[in-house]
Structures are given as C-alpha cells and as structure tokens.
Amino acid sequence: MDPLTHALLGATAAQVALGPRLGRQAWLLGAVGGVLPDADIVIRSSADPLLAIQYHRHFTHALAFIPVGGIVAALPWLARQAHRPNWRPIVAATTIGYATHAVLDACTNYGTHLLWPFSPLRVAWNWITTIGPLLTLMLLVGLVFAVRRGARLPAAVALLLSVAYVGTAACQRERALEMQVRIAAARGHPLDRAEMFPTVGNPLLWRSVYQSGATLYTDRLRVVSRAATRWKEGSTVDLLLEKDLPPPALADERVRRDYARFSYFSAGWVARASADPSVIGDARYSLRTDGFEPIWGVRFHPGTATPTEWVDRTIKNRVPISELWRELTGTAAGYMAVPLARN
C-alpha cells in the first residue's frame, strides 16, 4: 500500500488504542510504526536489479518481526530520558502501528512474506490494490477529527469503515470468481489455474486471469452485485516457462536464476508483453484489457556483465481517468452479460 495510507492506518489504530493514555502523541507513534516496514526499500543493488523486489515486503513485513519492528520504531522516543518512564505505552503504540502494515499489504495483490521465516509463501489476498483513494480519505478524515477533538470515536469509526471497505472488496472478489468460472465454461476452457485481481482504487472492476493449457486469458469484470455483473472480453497471451526461453538465455546460468526469481515474485504469472516481446512481464498487472501490457518486467541480455534489466512501464501504460470513469459508471463500450451457469 502507499506510504500515506500505511501512516494513516497505523496512526488511527494507535489513537484508538492508546489515545486516552498518550494523548495526541499516540497517532504520531502509530504513524512511524506504520511506515517503518517499508524501510526495506533501501535494499537494492545496481549489479542485481531483482534484489529490490526480492526483499521488498520480506522479513520487515513478517508477523514474527512485529515485536522487533515496534521497538525499533520507538527508539527515537526512548532515546530521550523524559520518555523512558512511559516506555510501555510508547512501545505499544509503535508496535500497533507496525502490525497494521503487513496485514494491510497482504490484502493487496503484490505478495507479502507474512510467515517468514517459517514459510516462503508470499501472501496476497488480492482484495485491494496498492492505491486506494477512498480508503485513504476515510482514515484521514477520521484521524483529523479524532486528534482535533481529543476523542477516540471518529478514529474508531474510520477503522470500522475501512474494515467494511476491505471486507466489501473481498466479497466482490468472490462474486467475480464465480462469474469467471461461468465465462471459462462458456468458452469450453478447463481451468488449470485462476485468479482475480483488483483494479486501481475501487471494488467494482476486476481483472480476471486464468490459465487453460499453455494460454492465459484476461478479461475485465464489472461487479455491482451477483445479478448486475457484466464482463468485457480481453486478450490472450502464452504462458512463458523457463523452457520457452531462447537458447542463449538457457545457456546463461544467471539468466535462468533470475527467471526463477522473477517467476517466484510473479507467482508464476509470467508472459511476454504484447507490444514488446523482449519484455517478460508480471501478468498479475496490466492496466489494459485489450492486450497484455505489464506495468513491470524484465529483459534478459545473456552473456553480458549484467544479464538482467528491470523494466518499469508504469508511466507508459497509464489509463486515462476518463476511460476509468466510464468503466466505473458502466458506460464503457464492450461490456456484456455474463453467460448463464451450466446445469
């Protein structure tokens, strides 16, 4: 999730839990704890472009690391003698803020090492995207009112509304998955693997991706309710496995290693970009439905000193706000009724 939302969630949770004891200081402690896990962004190397994605949302986001992270976040306060007698609520506030970070990140589709060091699983519940304006606004308004009035109620209401928002998105995703099964059945496609990914900042539009054979099928679903779900046919792209790499790439041990790292990061959803097949992209992310245009990926240069290039196409693949608005309001062209379920 974006740093502002993390700070606001940590601040709001700490204000609700410890506002009466720490006063207005509680929200600041929670905010620091809420953003600290993303200090892992300093782990990067020009010689290894994949190091940053390998360690982002890694051990600093693990549930087992929360007590350590809470103490580290509190150190600026504990370094001052005046705060040491009150160390318990201070550490509690930063720990609460720290704990909210990984749980919120796990709600997105990026992947978070919640269970490190006990499991290598990248937890991704795929309920919301890493940018959620409505969620951010709810937390901001609730926290501002809570701090200005010196009351916990506005912050508590903001937390409840935030949980309701995420819960609604989770329900919407389940509805979208039901529709995905019907769409695949209508096409006569057996589902080898299927996933449903959220789109930016809303619980209505979903990006359906499923594998049937060696092909990935991507579609767009607009879910208002089970009875008011429509879909727009997207595109197909071939799944890219290591064996599909060209011979020079297969002959380079570093390329094979980096392909495996990128495939693990992408949860196995790997394919070549439609417009530039030299880019091997993360099929979980594509802002368009009429072709697979990943927002990031890798390009391999076997036999060179640095055989892996990180490719960021976020700016190039931005969708106009007007187009997103038409999708949200249901006025975009190309949407049709979901096929009826087969008996």
Contact indicator for 14, 26 with CB cutoff of 8 Å? yes
Joined tokens for residue 299: 């390009």
Measured CA to CA, the distance from residue 291 to residue 312 in angstroms comes to: 17
Measured CA to CA, the distance from residue 262 to residue 285 in angstroms comes to: 14
pLDDT at position 289 is 64
Contact indicator for 196, 222 with CB cutoff of 8 Å? no
Question: Looking at the predicted structure, is the pLDDT value of residue 274 above 90?
Answer: no
| Of the candidates 164, 176, 78, the residue with the CA atom closest to the CA atom of residue 126 | 176
Q: Please, what is the average pLDDT of the chain?
A: 93
* 195-213 per-position pLDDT tens digit: 999 988 889 999 999 999 9
pLDDT greater at residue 262 or residue 313:
262
Give the number of residues written for the chain. 343
Sequence ranges of the domains in the chain: 3-125, 179-324
pLDDT at position 201 is 83
For range 98-124, the mean pLDDT: 97
| Of the candidates 68, 60, 71, the residue with the CA atom closest to the CA atom of residue 113 | 60
**Contacts for 101 with CB less than 8 Å, ≥ 6 apart:** 6, 9, 10, 33, 34, 35, 36, 37, 38, 61
pLDDT at position 326 is 83
Looking at the DSSP bridge assignments, the partners of residue 274 are none
pTM assigned to the model = 0.93
pLDDT at position 52 is 95
For range 283-311, the mean pLDDT: 88
Question: Looking at the predicted structure, is the pLDDT value of residue 317 above 70?
Answer: no
pLDDT at position 220 is 93
pLDDT band, residue 275 (cuts 50/70/90): confident
pLDDT band, residue 290 (cuts 50/70/90): low
pLDDT at position 342 is 62
